[in-house]
Structure 1
């Protein structure tokens, strides 16, 4: 059996552009939810967002690459560089290194900029490079081009489950013997003005549709805007960022003396087949994805020490996941948290960010918690970790990501 080691991580987030900074700030209780500059465009409600503010593309790429990429790909390149450095990979074997990236919306920011230019100043004002900026596969393609890779290069688009599906798919590629190393994770860059982009007065699509269709919280208080697994939960706060990891055939990692951060032991993915935006309310298919991941890992539910939930803070979504976790892990006080109270819902990158947070906490013997949640849902037959991190040694961790269209993914990690 081929073991999958994790040897590198990288983050671009609203809590910093470095894994250690991101995790330290999260464990210290910081949140990045702020009033949105787009709120005036959407009448009748106070609105919030969680954006990347301290990202400068020129720190990570030359001007030619910066001008030819949209923000989602720039985030990916920066997070990948961090992960590759931490993994201390040196020269990569171009035929034995895969890239699998996840994104929900790809270069939507480039599309919005182009449409704004067209509407404002006509066709000649549309940036010439829009055509190569918009494609969702361009983040993975840019990684392959930067490192001169010729292995499999894939892009997963399974809504908010995209990064866990990308990571699981990357593991399968290694298990099939098609690669020794995979650079994988997820990215989203649809709401930000990061990277010096002062792009006029267009409204980012994610922000606008979230408000119009009632996905976003109506809360007038930023500390109550995102309340995963809380009885007062009322909707999401849109976020963004990238999380990337290096997966490696464990024997390969050991042979080169790599520091191994943990192991990916199991992956499960399937569809609700129920509704475009609402989860199947009993959580039966989310539970099944969790069971598939456990089965792939060869583990029983009782062997899991902690779980990072998808938990977006929507009434229906959290109810379904509570039901799912109850089905799989009920009755033993399993500690469960979500990172979204700190950074909002970063879409396709959220699963990878949760994975990185979980690995960091595993090394620190501190399990993350849900910021701002103060009235845990009593329907949960497990411990909802809130208020502060939980000081605990955990050797096994399950992580969930669920997306629109009924996309359900779950992974299992271990320390050793």
Structure 2
């Protein structure tokens, strides 16, 4: 593989935050099904919604400022995760600002943005024939990143919002990485957020015919399990505090292990169906190879892959076919967090990356309680480097490579 990026410069993850059906911590991951049931007309659908403690944290954030009471749930989830990432990086304490964050840049991905507020405003328009003045600014995709920047105390940094369906978070991280390498920013908050558990969005997923028939208590999202389709919608966010450092700084004897974002690659393919993909996952192949090329790593350096794998038979099979084309018959360990948090659309790539870092730090992950090709709970050798995949409607895919150094 060739590497067009200087090996003397590294993008490190100083801190990270997350919120999902598992809450704001991964401490109890896999101990019980976090899924609940949502009634949609005649259907009882499993969903991956926030647990009570995380929900209270979200509502406390909403109540903390008059401005925040009007924000969409997607934005609030992003704020919650970004505060955690900023505090973990040591840049500020949660909810506080610092002069050093004045030039902090923000790059956020979301497939659908302010889903809930948009639907509320549209319902009001149909009923009243008018909408509030704030309807437009509160439902633009750009308001996701701009509110994260505001909450983090940034007064002069860029704030960028991205939407490329379910790979949106990696579009955000890829852009942040490019800005950092170009010297256009010194600090970035980057990630993805999504709050799609509205009746209209659930109805859309049900209409596609991919929703899981399994009960909420039975881990209804089952990547790699084959038929039937077991897609389950979830909500959440994950955000990362990124900086550029010299490679030499990580060779000093006193340096503590740090997460390194080694590469973010993208792949695209022209397809006739905007909801479909090629049987051999050509966009996945391109994305993985581009990420490997950026990182300067070889295939043997990848110990595991956190799959996009949403539990749809065609999507799961295409990704595995792409992996076999790229890696051959000896695949890395296959991992997934969607059986734990559902498919969070534009936040899914970021939450998968957070899961990959958790696996690298703990060298452990839960074993799925259903037949699947996902790896059992422990590897015979240490995992040093993980590739993470994401893909979305329209033939786009993205891959990221992360390690601890």
Secondary structure (helix, strand or coil) at the match of 2:213 reads coil
Please state if 1:385 is matched with 2:391. Answer: no
Match among 179, 203, 207 for residue 173 of structure 1: 179
Whole-Å separation in 1 of the counterparts to 2:247 and 2:296:
22
Contact 1:144 1:150 in 2 (8 A): no
Q: CA deviation at 1:96?
A: 4.1
**Partner in structure 1 of residue 3 of structure 2:** none
Contact residue 355 and residue 399 of structure 1 kept, 8 A:
yes
Q: Show the 5 A alignment for 1:360-375.
A: 360-366=358-364, 368-369=365-366, 371-375=368-372
Q: Is the 8 A contact 1:397 1:414 kept in 2?
A: yes
For residues 185-217 of structure 1, the C-alpha deviation after alignment (integer angstroms, 9 at most, x for no partner) is: 0000121xxxxxxxxxxx522201111221212
- Number of matched pairs: 384
CA contact (8 A) 2:226 2:312 kept: no
The secondary structure found in structure 2 opposite 1:350 is: helix
C-alpha deviations, 1:364-385, integer Å up to 9, x for none? 122x356343143xxxxxxx31
* Maintained 8 Å contact 2:289/2:326: yes
Distance (whole Å) between structure 2 residues aligned to residue 175 and residue 218 of structure 1: 46
Query: What SS is found at the alignment partner of 2:39?
Result: coil
Normalised by the length of structure 1, the TM-score is 0.86
Q: Does 1:250 align with 2:255?
A: no
Matched, 1:272 2:262: no
SS across alignment from 1:138: helix
Please say if residues 8 and 245 of structure 1, whose CA atoms lie closer than 8 Å, have aligned partners that are also in contact: yes
Which residue in the other structure is 1:412 paired with?
401
- Unpaired segments of 5 or more residues in structure 2? 1-5, 93-97
State whether structure 2 residue 295 is matched by structure 1 residue 297.
Answer: yes
CA distance in 2, matches of 1:321, 1:220: 26
Q: Is the 8 A contact 2:349 2:390 kept in 1?
A: yes
Equivalent of 1:232 in 217, 227, 232: 227
The residue aligned with 1:130 is 135
The answer on whether the counterparts of 1:228 and 1:373 sit within 8 Å (CA) in structure 2 is no
Of 109, 112, 115, the residue aligned with 1:105 is 112
Q: Give the superposition deviation at 1:221.
A: 6.4
Residue 95 (structure 2) aligns with:
none
Paired position in structure 1 for 2:210: 215
Distance in structure 2 (CA, Å) of the matches to 1:258 and 1:332:
34
Structure 1 equivalent of residue 167 of structure 2: 161
Deviation at 1:273, TM superposition (A): 1.4
Q: Which residue of 2 aligns with 1:189?
A: 195
**Residues 220 and 31 (structure 1 numbering): CA distance in 2 closer, same or farther, change over 3 Å?**
closer
| Residues 356 and 258 of structure 1: CA distance in aligned 2, closer, same or farther (over 3 Å) | farther
Secondary structure of the 1:398 match is: strand
Equivalent residues in 2 for 1:5-404, closer than 5 Å: 5-16=12-23, 18=24, 21=25, 23-26=26-29, 28-38=30-40, 41=41, 43=42, 45-54=43-52, 55-56=55-56, 57-60=58-61, 62-90=64-92, 91=98, 93-94=100-101, 96-120=103-127, 122-123=128-129, 126-146=131-151, 147-191=153-197, 204-219=199-214, 222-223=217-218, 225-251=220-246, 261-274=258-271, 275-366=273-364, 368-369=365-366, 371-376=368-373, 384-386=374-376, 388=377, 390=379, 392-404=381-393
Deviation at 1:170, TM superposition (A): 0.7
- In the TM superposition, residue 25 of structure 1 has moved relative to its aligned partner by 2.2
Deviation for aligned residue 1:136: 1.3
Contact 1:101 1:140 in 2 (8 A): yes
Q: Normalising to structure 2: TM-score of the pair?
A: 0.88
Pick closer, same or farther for the CA change 1:393–1:233 going to 2, 3 Å. Answer: farther
- Following superposition, the deviation at residue 63 of structure 1 comes to 2.7
